[in-house]
Amino acid sequence: MHAIYFRWKVASGHERDFEHAWLELTKLVRDERGGLGSRLHRCTDGHYFAYAQWPSELVWSAQAGPTARMVELRNQMLEFAELVDGPLRGDVVADLLVSAAPD
């Protein structure tokens, strides 16, 4: 499995806007590009970070270019946040995460 990490500083008052754009973009990537989903985390200092999982680096690198909607959502995210770090990419060496059962 391959993982990609990003970290953003979100402008105060735009947290929900950023979260909404991230959620919609992530669903599109998962459903249309072969991604395995992602987790978004909010830190107490206003930063957010996320890591996305892919079946392999090959699947990630072979994906088609973004659709117009994906570009629009990425631009919305950049309107509300500054990319601080990433993308950092690497293969998963060990995975001890446990997914909670949905409510």
Express each pLDDT in 6-23 by its tens digit.
Answer: 999 999 999 999 999 999
Angstrom distance (rounded) from CA 1 to CA 48? 23
What global pTM score does this model have?
A: 0.88
**Residue 81 covered by a domain:** yes
**Residue 55 covered by a domain:** yes
Express each pLDDT in 73-86 by its tens digit.
Answer: 999 999 999 999 98
Q: How many CA atoms lie within 13 A of 103 on its CB side?
A: 0
Identify the residue whose tokens are 């973009």: 25
What is the count of structural domains for the chain?
1
Angstrom distance (rounded) from CA 10 to CA 78? 9
Angstrom distance (rounded) from CA 100 to CA 78? 30
**Residue 97 covered by a domain:** no
**Residue 96 covered by a domain:** no
**Residue 78 covered by a domain:** yes
**Residue 102 covered by a domain:** no
Helix (H), strand (E) at residue 87: strand 81-91
Range of the domain at 54: 2-91
- Residue 19: CATH number of its domain: 3.30.70.100
